[in-house]
Chain A
Amino acid sequence: EIVLTQSPGTLSLSPGERATLSCRASQSVTRSYLAWYQQKPGQAPRLLIYGASSRAAGIPDRFSGSGSGTDFTLTISRLEPEDFAVYYCQQYGSSPPTFGGGTKVEIK
């Protein structure tokens, strides 16, 4: 199965700053079938991005995804207070679908 490694483990930033989160796959992700989720404490994950770069319904345009092959990036252009959370990447190009270990974005 494909192993996803997310970095950094924790990102300490201030509101208004730019966040860049990385997700690296152990092998190429078919058709860039890569999704990103946001999870806040006590809540279920929320879909942000699918197909590496398509925003899910209702997701603000400050969230953007890019990448292909084995390297993918989630960028939050200007952090809002509600964006401090844990972010997971997930590949669904190969079975079984797998998730990364997460990046926590915390307030500096």
Chain B
Amino acid sequence: QVQLVQSGAEVKRPGASVKVSCKASGYTFTDFGISWVRQAPGQGPEWMGWISAYNGNIIYAQKIQGRVTMATDTSTSTAYMELRSLTSDDTAMYYCVRDLGSLPGSFFDYWGQGTLVTVSS
């Protein structure tokens, strides 16, 4: 069965960076893209960007471009998302999701369990 297993919760100081991993199993990793979606407490989800697991092409959301880096390691079927210069506005649950559509940033059929990132001084 398809699974996306993410790394554990993080607490960071303002200005720090966080890196979240997402290990995929149960399907051919390079057949689908991975998007990252975050959800602040009590809010709707927010798309952060997409990476092709096939060729590494990337599209970042304009709001966080310049602060985010996404990558994949096909040898371990793992995706990574690093977010830098954290502020309290970045406090959220972060999800990796399998991106099903023919275009980058489509719809998402499998979600990781989420990684809670808390930014606090």
Chain A interface residues (CB < 8 Å from chain B)? 33, 35, 37, 44-47, 50, 56-57, 88, 90, 92, 95-102
Contacts and interface: CB of A to CB of B under 8 A. Distances in A.
Given A45-B45, A100-B44, A102-B44, A92 B101 contact: yes
Contact of A44 (B44, B46, B47, B111): B111
Nearest to A93: B103
B16 interface: no
Interface in B99-121: 100-101, 103-109, 111-114
B59 interface: yes
A26 to B, nearest CB: 15
Given A44-B113, A95-B59, A95-B103, 13 more contacts: A33-B107, A45-B108, A45-B111, A47-B107, A47-B108, A88-B45, A92-B101, A92-B105, A96-B62, A96-B105, A97-B105, A99-B44, A100-B44
For the residues of B in contact with A, the DSSP-based class is: loop
9 contacts: A37-B45, A56-B109, A92-B103, A95-B103, A95-B105, A97-B47, A99-B44, A99-B46, A101-B44
Contact of A35 (B35, B46, B104, B107): B107
A88 B108 contact: no
Minimum-distance CB pairs A-B, first 3: A44-B111, A35-B107, A99-B44
A44 B109 contact: no
